[in-house]
C-alpha cells in the first residue's frame, strides 16, 4: 500500500495576504490558485515545487474558524520545514521581517529554529543532521 499526506490545512484571514507572505517572505512556491466563484478558492503552497506535501489555505469564514487563525496548535510548533541550510534561510527570512523565537541552535538531530507565519502559527526550520 502506498500512502502519504498530501495536504495540510492552515486557516487564513485572507487568501492573497497569505499567498504574499508565504511566497514573498518565506520563499514558498504557489502550487495552485483555483477560483470557483462566490469566494471559493483552492490555494496551495509548498516549500518547493518538489514537495510531496502542500499547505492548503482555508479562509476563516465562521467565528469559530476566525478564533483558530494563528492558533491551530496553541503555542506549539505546527509544522517542521526541512532545509539544506538553516543558517542561510534564517538570515534570508529574518531580513524579510519573519519573527523568530531565538537563533538557530545545534541540536542532536540538527540545526533548528522556531519562527512564526503572519498569523502566529509556529514552524520549526530544521536542517537535519546526516548520520553516516
Q: What is the pLDDT of residues 33-60, one digit of tens each?
A: 999 888 789 999 999 999 999 999 999 9
Q: What pLDDT is stored for residue 15 in this prediction?
A: 96
Task: Summarize pLDDT for 90-100 with one digit per residue, the tens.
Answer: 999 999 999 99
pLDDT band at 61 (very low <50, low <70, confident <90, very high): very high
Task: Summarize pLDDT for 75-89 with one digit per residue, the tens.
Answer: 899 999 999 999 999
Task: Summarize pLDDT for 18-28 with one digit per residue, the tens.
Answer: 999 999 999 99
Show me where the domains of the chain are located. Answer: 7-128
Burial bucket for residue 26 (CB in 10 Å: 0-12, 13-18, 19+): buried
Q: What pLDDT is stored for residue 73 in this prediction?
A: 86
What does the pLDDT average to over 105-118?
96
Query: Going by CATH, does the domain composed of 7-128 fall within 3.10.180.10?
Result: yes
What does the pLDDT average to over 108-118?
96
Q: What pLDDT is stored for residue 43 in this prediction?
A: 98
pTM comes to: 0.90
Whole-angstrom CA distances from 11 to 2, 43, 67, 87, 94 are 28, 11, 10, 28, 23
Q: What pLDDT is stored for residue 72 in this prediction?
A: 83
Q: What is the mean pLDDT of the chain?
A: 94
* pLDDT value at 131 more than 80: no
Amino acid at each position: 500500500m502506498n500512502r502519504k499526506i498530501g495536504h495540510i490545512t492552515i486557516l487564513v484571514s485572507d487568501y492573497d495576504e497569505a499567498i504574499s507572505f508565504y511566497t514573498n517572505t518565506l520563499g514558498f512556491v504557489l502550487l495552485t490558485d483555483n477560483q470557483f466563484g462566490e469566494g471559493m478558492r483552492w490555494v496551495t503552497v509548498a516549500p518547493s515545487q518538489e514537495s510531496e506535501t502542500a499547505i492548503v489555505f482555508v479562509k476563516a469564514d465562521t467565528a469559530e474558524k476566525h478564533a483558530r487563525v494563528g492558533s491551530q496548535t496553541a503555542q506549539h510548533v505546527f509544522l517542521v520545514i526541512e532545509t539544506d541550510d538553516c543558517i542561510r534561510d534564517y538570515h534570508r527570512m529574518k531580513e524579510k521581517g519573519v519573527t523568530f523565537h531565538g537563533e538557530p541552535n545545534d541540536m542532536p538531530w540538527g540545526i533548528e529554529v522556531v519562527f512564526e507565519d503572519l498569523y502566529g502559527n509556529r514552524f520549526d526550520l530544521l536542517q537535519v543532521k546526516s548520520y553516516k
